[in-house]
Amino acid sequence: MDQLIYFFGSLFFFLIIGVPISIVLLLCSMVLMFTAGVWDVMTIPNSMLDGADNFPLMAIPFFVFAGEIMAAGGLSKRVVQLAQLIIGRVKGGLGYAAIMASIIFAGLMGSSVGEAAALGGLLLPMMKEVGYDPGRAGGIIASGAILGPIIPPSTNFIILGATVSLSVTRLFMIGLVPGLLLGLGLMIVWFFIVRKDGYTEIITFTRAQTIAILKDASPAFMLPLLLLGGIRFGVFTPTEGGAFAAVFAIVVCMCYYRELSVRDLLRVSAAAARTTAVVMLIVTTATAVGYFITLAQIPTYIASGFSGFIDSPRILLTIIMLFLLVAGMVMDLTPNVLIFAPVFYPLIQQAGIDPYHFGLCFILNLGIGVITPPVGTVLYVVCGIGNIQLMQLVRKMLPFMLMEVTILFLLVYFPELSLIPLKFLM
């Protein structure tokens, strides 16, 4: 029990004083090491090396690289134009287009922060120009960004699969239909907001413009289909799929769109390397923390607090989800996955909960965390791009967030919404 107090005490203390999360995890592992009486200084580096030495994690740099290329090479604006063409002919068309673009972009990048940055930079100025409330415009971009961790390819599903030894392919497939359900839920909320706020703009295109947009956007639309089809039918593994996505993006942006030069490619490669380094540093330091958490039997202490609900799987899953909603408010998605997935996974196995259904709810829950203050990273990205006050953004985003939480608990209580589509897709 003392180790549990030391862990959470040091974790929240370092977070409150503003220490970067990777350094927080490293410091927590040092605290746990010394309080456990382990004095071998090589224990932490060896644990970090073990965390990095994991083949499924190789997919992360490939998907990060592909996402950076797409953002820099012209795919982003084509995705937005395609979304406007599909659904922009109704009142509040830009809002609907933002949600549709979030769905398409999630199938290209798999990152909530990258999606918010790319779509925010393109759509926020357009929304403000036609009279959208800045907080409302930012709210729809931020809430749509959580589709990135759910709709495949998702780097967070890759990390979860590597952490608790689940099939990344099955995790990808179970996220597809619930991700589309989330998008539909956001559109329903927007339908009522359009009437409340009085937005009347529509987006129309001539026949020539329609043909040009379809021609331009077809590579962006084809990539998710080829990627998911290849993974589903065993043409390549998720890691090989990441490499395919990166090569596809290079070819399209350099040869088809011709908006990415060799110099741009070098710059994008450096940006992708920095992003990957940050993610992998978090992964390795979280692995070191996980080693000492296991050594101190902290999962056993936490499990004992939930053990009374093992005979009631849905109540157990509900309590875990409520716990994770709070955890997502104070810590980012990736470290939450790495710390809490090994803690709760044995519990849900004992309770007979499908591990892939749990994985979906787990990632969706922590995805909501990226748009909840005070640590919601997507909030700060959108605020910075749109020059929006944080509390203004949070207030205007609240209806979308409530819809996402509602869908989360619908999935908790009706697992068939994810498991039946998974069975069909697999």
Mean of per-residue pLDDT scores for the chain = 84
What does pTM read for this prediction?
Answer: 0.85
Q: What is the mean pLDDT of residues 84-105?
A: 85
pLDDT over 70 percentage in the chain: 99
pLDDT tens digits, one per residue of 151-169 = 888 888 888 888 888 888 8
CA atoms within a 13 Å half-sphere pointing along the CA-CB vector of 253: 29
* Spatial distance between the Cα atoms of 301 and 295, rounded to a whole number of angstroms: 12
* Spatial distance between the Cα atoms of 382 and 117, rounded to a whole number of angstroms: 7
> Crossing angle, helix 355-369 and helix 333-351, to 10 degrees?
150
pLDDT tens digits, one per residue of 251-308 = 888 888 888 888 888 888 888 888 888 888 888 888 887 777 777 777 777 777 777 7
First to last CA, the chain: 43
Q: 175 near 151, Cβ under 8 Å? A: yes
* Spatial distance between the Cα atoms of 127 and 133, rounded to a whole number of angstroms: 8
Contact residues for 166 (Cβ-Cβ < 8 A; gap 6+):
160, 355, 356, 359
